[in-house]
Structure 1
Amino acid sequence: MKKTKPILILLICTLFVAGCTEQKILERISITTLLGYDLEEEDKVTTTLTVRQVSPDDKSSLETQSNTEETSNGTSIKVNLQTSKKIMAGQLRVLLFGKKLAQDSIEQTLHTTMMNSEISSSIYLAVADGTTKEIIEAQYENITDIGQHVFNLIDHNVEEQHSVSSTLHEVVRNNYSPFRDIAMPIIKKEGQIIKINGLAIFNKSKMVGELSSEDAFYVIMLRDKFKAGSVELSLPGNTLNHDRDQDDKLEVSIDSIKSKRSINLTNPSTPEFDVTVDFGCRLIELHSNENTGRPEVTKKLEKAIGDKMESEISRIIKYTQEKNSDIFGFGDDYYASVRNSGLTEAKWHQMYPNMKVNVKVNIEIFRNGVFE
């Protein structure tokens, strides 16, 4: 009898817990996977979302809902009034911001999303090149589920390190960090194709500039370690053959095997940083007849690729300084390196545009081509 008492108590507690849990029967709810916010005139917000309806016979269908109100929460209430089933955000995969809203501020929308306990912190956030409504409501010949398609598009490119990761957790962390700013992918619709078309950079909660999708390679190089990724480079035409014109282009394609970067503060008063990137790569394509198996040819390529990358990284850092958007977290490094600096968010944003950065990229080509 003594042994059965604990088991009986456990069963009773389980029944009570199960009875208190809100039941979410698929046939009685609508599941949203993609949500978009656009800024309208008079500061109103349009919410557009994809909704999956599941019928009692296990068939499902997709539809879009849209409404405009004063706030994002107000539009959500109006959208619920347009559907016969309660809209649940537990399966949300991607949140899109229209460019106009992103340039105005994503602060309120970000706060509302963060406070919603249904929404996972692992959802992706991105900026639409134009409005989110035109992306979500469009008819596509080869896309059956726009929400899942956009999620797969972002997730695949993040995994391959062609684009920065911008989960809700990462964006909220950077938004509330006093010394680091947000970067997230830009999604663009071109006819029947949806693609990642660049990188939006922010000063706190406002989008202040754009980088190309090719520039994302260098942003990732400074923000993280490379484990994948590839890039095409145009080197001077006389890199391997001095008889060729320098203005001609030598096209090179490489992919990354490994990279490591270090950022060291050398002068707190300027401030001045030394950025060093050690980059091991594989040469996968070269528009030249030169024998890349010769050490002297490899050395010339390593030097030229390093110089090109240094130039590109310096250009991108300068652009972020012009926009006062510290997407690399130099402010975090400064704060960690200088004791009793009294550094504040406002003070760092005064210092960042005048910061000096010395970039050094060390290239090592491990293998040439696929078969070596």
Structure 2
Amino acid sequence: MRSAMLIIVVVLLLTGCNYHNDLKNLQLIYATAIDVNEKNDIVTTVTIQTPGGKERSTPVHEVLSDSGPTLQESLYKKIGLQIAGPIGVSKNQVLLIGEKLAKKDLADILDSTFRNSNDPMLAKVAIVRGKAGELIRLDRIGSATAGEYLRKIIMSARYETIIPSLSLHALYPLLHDKGRDPVIPLLRKEEDKAVVDGVGLIHKRKYTGYSLTPEQSTLLILMYGRKDKVCVITRKVEEDSMQKDDPSQYLSLNITNLKRDKRVWIDEEGRVQIQLDLKMKGSVVEFAHDNLSDKKQVAALSQRFSDILTEEGHATCRLLQKANSDALSIGRDIMAYYPDAWAKMDWDTAYPNANFHVSMNVEIISHGIIN
């Protein structure tokens, strides 16, 4: 009996040693980028952090890249053979997709990621203009890894209502939803930094090549009926032919309250109609004039701002239709309220011909402590 107990203790101790040894040698991925090369292979680039050991007190960061016919092949077989230890993906913070590769079926490309329970489904997803691997190779800011740096940029833009927050977990159902198309945050490399460049428009699980600017993306989020912690909108409200683009011609408002009303119906001619009414209240952040104590002036500015945003809202919806990207989930409304019509409808033809009615009403409720 004692010998049996001794064997069990030895086995447990040895297993524990192997477990800790595996952890010590684990190669942690903090950011992943995927592109496509001339051979149509997937090129995967990762930044790996190796834990510090007795010889070194701080972790070591390394960028590795290789290619293969699939994401699984290029990452685990090709890159996996270049490192001393098992790959760990639990710390992966961002997944970047080059725009050329994003124009292929995203569900097929990311299939292994969606199937693997070990992959972090909360990793942020973004499309990169040009090659995604170039952003992974950016020098780290301070002590942050490339993954931490890129994630913070994405989260900051989300905080300011410039882009929606999109994780792998959120992307998967959207790629399989026939009544709605996702929009994916768009990044670009500018010298030695990454810049948020709006959102890329998706149709049938592929990047269409059409995109919304950061200003249009903010309006799209507002048309969702959502806003984040901060939503500052700056527009030119005055025209002066003598002084073009003078700062005093611009008004910056922080949207503090938002109410959206959305209505979708099919008219007698069978055409889809969409009514989007947004009512917003905002506080003046910047306006280089001292006449905001005048109620008539404030009302005129509110109307001017409303007219500008309404016109831009229509233009944004037209661009969505041009890309055939149903980012406002109009198809889902038709499916819910007009199931018989949906069953007979060719949505790829009906959606670009739908009629959007957009109204954005902005009320200035505060102008700060300056009268």
In structure 1, what is the Cα distance between the partners aligned to 2:336 and 2:49? Answer: 47
Cα distance change on mapping 1:118 and 1:328 into 2, 3 Å? same
Partner of 1:229: 231
RMSD of Structure 2 on Structure 1 (CA): 2.6
Instruction: Output the amino acid matched with 1:222.
Output: M
For 1:307, what is the secondary structure of its paired residue? helix
Partner of 1:281: 282
For 2:341, what is the secondary structure of its paired residue? coil
The alpha carbon displacement at 1:367 in A equals: 0.6
Partner of 2:214: 213
Instruction: Output the amino acid matched with 2:41.
Output: K
Unaligned runs of 5+ in 1: 1-14, 239-243
The alpha carbon displacement at 1:96 in A equals: 0.3
The question of whether the paired residues in 2 share the 8 Å contact of 1:272 and 1:357 is answered with yes
Cα distance change on mapping 1:215 and 1:176 into 2, 3 Å? same
In structure 2, what is the Cα distance between the partners aligned to 1:140 and 1:299? Answer: 48
1:94-120 Cα deviation digits (max 9, x unpaired): 000011101233222222211111122
In structure 2, what is the Cα distance between the partners aligned to 1:225 and 1:189? Answer: 28
In structure 2, what is the Cα distance between the partners aligned to 1:256 and 1:327? Answer: 22
- Structure 1 residue 179 and structure 2 residue 179: aligned? yes
The question of whether the paired residues in 2 share the 8 Å contact of 1:230 and 1:256 is answered with yes
Instruction: Output the amino acid matched with 2:207.
Output: M
- Structure 1 residue 92 and structure 2 residue 103: aligned? no
In structure 2, what is the Cα distance between the partners aligned to 1:245 and 1:361? Answer: 30
For 1:178, what is the secondary structure of its paired residue? coil
The question of whether the paired residues in 1 share the 8 Å contact of 2:140 and 2:149 is answered with no
Instruction: Output the amino acid matched with 2:337.
Output: S
In structure 2, what is the Cα distance between the partners aligned to 1:62 and 1:123? Answer: 19
Partner of 2:6: none
**Aligned ranges 1:1-372 → 2 under 5 Å:** 23=19, 25-57=22-54, 58-76=57-75, 77-139=77-139, 142=142, 144-208=144-208, 209-227=210-228, 228-237=230-239, 250-268=249-267, 269-289=270-290, 291-343=291-343, 347-369=346-368
Partner of 2:5: none
In structure 1, what is the Cα distance between the partners aligned to 2:123 and 2:232? Answer: 25
The question of whether the paired residues in 2 share the 8 Å contact of 1:263 and 1:333 is answered with no
For 1:43, what is the secondary structure of its paired residue? coil
Unaligned runs of 5+ in 2: 1-10
Instruction: Output the amino acid matched with 2:114.
Output: M
The alpha carbon displacement at 1:38 in A equals: 0.2
The alpha carbon displacement at 1:93 in A equals: 0.7
The question of whether the paired residues in 2 share the 8 Å contact of 1:235 and 1:251 is answered with yes
In structure 2, what is the Cα distance between the partners aligned to 1:138 and 1:247? Answer: 37
The alpha carbon displacement at 1:148 in A equals: 0.6
In structure 1, what is the Cα distance between the partners aligned to 2:79 and 2:67? Answer: 9
For 1:166, what is the secondary structure of its paired residue? coil
Instruction: Output the amino acid matched with 1:72.
Output: L
Instruction: Output the amino acid matched with 2:167.
Output: T
Compute the TM-score of the two structures, normalised by the length of structure 2: 0.87
1:102-158 Cα deviation digits (max 9, x unpaired): 123322222221111112222110011111122212445757411110011111221
For 1:340, what is the secondary structure of its paired residue? helix
In structure 2, what is the Cα distance between the partners aligned to 1:220 and 1:158? Answer: 10
Compute the TM-score of the two structures, normalised by the length of structure 1: 0.87
The alpha carbon displacement at 1:339 in A equals: 4.3
